[in-house]
A and B are shown apart, each in its own frame.
Chain A
Amino acid sequence: MTPPRRHLWIAAAIWAVLSIVGAVLVAGIQIIPVIASREAGIENSAFVLLAVLSVPVLMFVVVGLAYSAIWFRANGDEADGPPIHGHRGFQAAWLGISFALVIGLFAYGAAGLVDIRGAQTADFEVQVSAEQWAWHFTYPSTGATSKELHIPVGQRVHIVINSDDVIHSFWVPAFGIKQDAVPGRTTEIYVTATVAGTYPGLCAELCGFGHTNMRFTTVVSNRAALKAWLRKQKPGSEGSQPPPSGSESAS
């Protein structure tokens, strides 16, 4: 029979090798498929770090289970195992490591959140109005309105969100930001797009039958192109007709 200590060493060695290999493999992956904003970049690094840290945790349990399933089978032996009720040192280590992990993750997450939220200042503002089932964008600088979202590249954009009827959620996957549009209150979010291009936007909160198709297009362009585009938009043309009802009529 293998002595208990040797089992531990063998399993620990397997675990260490698998963890290192796994962590190295994961560390190189870009997880968020399209990254077109500063915020999405922060989220991607958080994602990668969490993924790297999960590998040893995952491997610990998996190696423990697999090793036991192979080596500790009873194989018809009816005898009981050793009467071990616990192990003070091991329990303390387990608790200590999990607390340390939690505090580390929390600190990193909180720092990331502060970084994403950033200062409450912006170079450009867009007002978003959501309704069943369409998005409307207004640009206060010129009063222009549109059904597409146009923002400048490399500048901090303040997005102010409202809803006329039910809860929607403003989401541009490539920006890594998501913010509910809540009737009765105004929500906001800041984003700095880093790569010019066209990106899909979606409603992320169930808002009824049309939820599936409640999409919009986001165009990120340089300031000059954006200005030209804004000039072409007639002020208030899109928003001039009152939003279709779906909202409270009883008030």
Chain B
Amino acid sequence: MRALKPGLVRAVVGAAIGAVIGAGSLILAGIVGMEITDGEILGLGYLLALIGFLFGIGAFRFWLTWAVGREVNIEEEHAAHGTAGDWRRYFLFTTDHKVIGVQYLATAFTLFLVAGSAAMLMRFELAQPGLVLGKEAYNEIFSTHGAMMITVALISIVGGLGNYLVPIMIGARDMAFPKTNALSYWLLPLPILLVAINPLLGGFDSGWTAYPPLSQQANLGQQAYLMAFVTVGVASILSAINFLVTVFRMRASGMSLMRMPIFVWALTVTSVLGLVATSVVAGAFTMLLFDRVLGTSFFRASRGGDVILFQHLFWFYSHPAVYIMGLPGLGAILEIVPVFARKPLFAYPLAVLSFISIGVLSFMVWAHHMFVSGMATFFHIPIMFTTELISVPTGIVFLSALGTIWMGRLHFKVPMLWVFGFIWAFLIGGITGVFLADVPTDLTLHDTYFVVAHFHYTIVGGAIFGLFAGTYYWFPKITGRMYSERLGKLHFWWFTLAFNATFLPMFWLGIEGMRRRVADYSPQLGGVNLWVSFAAFNIFLSVAVFVFNIVRSWRRGPQAEANPWRAQTLEWQTASPPPIQNFDHIPTVSSGPYEYGGGLGVPAEGRATP
């Protein structure tokens, strides 16, 4: 019986059984007279559904066999790795990191489209002064948009490109813990679904930041979001541990730390941030959940709780999270620049140091989100300093990119175009960040569209431009086929122009006093908002070009060579797509990753022959 094998069908059945048992038992308890709230029913139902889903997909079968002391069936375990060319493995609990990478990418891009559609609804409401969808609907839409886009930014590069490439780039056959890796991925579908259907539960209107007390009085959809976020958090902690052990323990011989590709360094620092910070927000969200469901009073001011405490805990995670989203993009960009400039990465050791410093500093700046929150004034001063200080290591990224480009032999293939777009967007994001770090200017700009524009320039600039650059760059490696250069260029120019046309005017809107998170605004801002809506719609259309290009090229694009870009990092020294164990023979590394121009190292072919 095919359906009874571990897989999606069984996972869905498992989730349904879990939900029925969890929610059903509480509903029954309610019928016999116990006091049961909707929140408790949703909570237990979701928890058991998640466990049922994971059992159904087969996440625990090897561990359980091992735990009770039975022989693990080696053949079955190998089968879980999947067979090359079998499309079904993308829908199973497959332990091959390359499959998991593609699963993450597909999930992230799907979510990107859904969250992008939510943005279109927002811009529809905001195109003209007055109300169309209504204030309730608008608040729920932007909350869902934020929650989903944050997830996209968190998982797309790390989970997708990171999973696919890090083991290959360091010369390993897989991640250190392939089954945990698959578990990290399969933890995601249910919470993502829960956020997607949260309007059915009444939606939530407190934004992705979920500040109490607003989030304590919001509908049941709020609880769905909090539970989903904690689940995604658990998944990212597991994945962070996996990356760190992989990077520190599984490098091929000769791959010293300072020979690692910069992208691997970026993911390493990202993983440290994810490991250390995520459990703090998981704790904060859990306390908030308990406040809602179990009657605790952590953030209930009327009962001695402290609402500002939540903001401290939340931003202690969520500011490093900005770098969890941004650093992988920076890494991808610096990875791509040397290849298309045909020059070694400029100041590589300094770039590594800058990633590490960004990581360390990111834990000391969280309270700059709270300059008007009423926290003690003396605390503003050191936070302003650390926040401005973080621009020094961030600036080094520009130094590296510009230094590599200068005097290079630039090939403007699509990935390189995205590099240029990235530098521009991230530069605007960085410069406007200084205005928000400076308390005097932040007092007027806080919670206005200036902030909206700023974080879209940094997060779209950092994460999404990096994601597109990386997706085009590694597309031939992942699929074994070339994308269409013409469609790629169309996508780049359309997206970049529309992106800037959307978000540059928002700085002006913010200065003019347009607040964040409002469904309506002063009539005199109508013209600019109409323009912004029109431009935003163009962003969405340009992404359609991307999707078309990817889907069509994957099916019918011309065959790609092993190394179409003449790059020197290890992933290009194996076939496209790589064989199931990545390399026929694990290579030995004898020089740094970017020895273009025949400087210190030997040519690519010599340094990493399998």
Contacts and interface: CB of A to CB of B under 8 A. Distances in A.
A187 interface: yes
Interface in B196-246: 205-207, 211, 213-214, 217
Contacts of B409: 72-74, 77, 79-81
B274 to A, nearest CB: 27
Contacts of B389: 102, 106
B372 A83 contact: no
Given A57-B431, A81-B407, A85-B348, A94 B207 contact: no
Contact of B431 (A47, A54, A165, A187): A54
Contact of B447 (A62, A68, A77, A205): A205
Given A86-B346, A178-B444, A117 B377 contact: yes
Nearest to B386: A106
Contact of B511 (A33, A68, A94): A33
Interface string A86-122: 1100110011001100100110111011001100000
A72 B435 CA distance: 34
Interface residues of B, number: 89
A86 B407 contact: no
Interface residues of A, number: 84
Nearest to B373: A180
Contacts of B124: none
Nearest to A73: B410
Contact of A50 (B424, B427, B435): B435
A245 B410 CA distance: 65
B344 A185 contact: no
B420 interface: yes
B407 A72 contact: yes
A246 B434 CA distance: 38
Interface string A176-204: 11111011110100000000000000111
Interface in B368-416: 372-374, 377, 380-381, 384-385, 388-389, 391-392, 395-396, 398-399, 402-403, 405-412
A211 B217 CA distance: 15
Contacts of A58: 427-428, 431
Contacts of A117: 377
Contacts of A112: 438-440
B457 interface: no
A109 B440 contact: yes
Interface in B160-194: none
Nearest to A108: B438
B597 A98 contact: no
A125 B51 CA distance: 57
A251 interface: yes
Chain B CB within 10 Å, residue with most, of A31, A50, A79 = A50
A68 B512 CA distance: 36
B156 to A, nearest CB: 25
Contact of B374 (A61, A91, A185): A185
A90 B346 CA distance: 11
Interface stretch (B41-49, B470-478, B516-524): B516-524
B307 A81 contact: no
B214 A166 contact: yes
Contacts of A32: 444, 511
Contact of A178 (B350, B406, B446): B446
Interface string B481-525: 000000000000000000000000000000111011111100000
A207 interface: yes
Contact of A210 (B135, B350, B388): B135
Contact of B207 (A91, A116, A206): A206
A83 B409 CA distance: 11
B214 A167 contact: yes
A187 B396 CA distance: 39
B305 to A, nearest CB: 7
Given A72-B408, A81-B596, A105-B438, A187 B446 contact: no
A185 B301 contact: yes
B430 to A, nearest CB: 9
B374 A182 contact: yes
Nearest to B426: A61
A33 B450 CA distance: 14
A185 to B, nearest CB: 6
A209 interface: yes
B418 to A, nearest CB: 13
B134 to A, nearest CB: 9
B589 interface: no
Nearest to B347: A86
B139 interface: yes
A212 interface: yes
B312 interface: no
Contacts of A241: none
Interface in B304-326: 305-308
A79 B342 contact: yes
Interface stretch (A38-46, A140-148, A219-227): A38-46
Nearest to B431: A54
Interface string A50-77: 1000100110011011001100111001
A84 interface: yes
A40 B207 CA distance: 29
Contacts of B405: 64-65, 68, 72
A208 B350 contact: no
Nearest to A45: B440
A18 to B, nearest CB: 15
Task: Point out which of B347, B391, B420, B423 has the most chain A C-beta atoms below 10 A from its C-beta.
Answer: B347
Contacts of A61: 398, 402, 423-424, 427
A185 B307 CA distance: 9
B595 interface: yes
A237 interface: no
A95 B347 CA distance: 12
Contacts of B513: 33, 173, 202
B520 to A, nearest CB: 5
B89 interface: no
14 contacts: A47-B441, A64-B402, A78-B566, A79-B342, A80-B597, A84-B597, A95-B392, A105-B434, A169-B372, A173-B444, A178-B447, A183-B302, A211-B139, A211-B517
Given A43-B443, A206-B206, 8 more contacts: A7-B406, A61-B424, A110-B384, A113-B377, A166-B213, A176-B444, A178-B446, A205-B447
The 9 nearest A-B residue pairs measured at CB: A184-B301, A83-B599, A83-B597, A187-B374, A248-B302, A112-B440, A81-B343, A74-B409, A80-B597
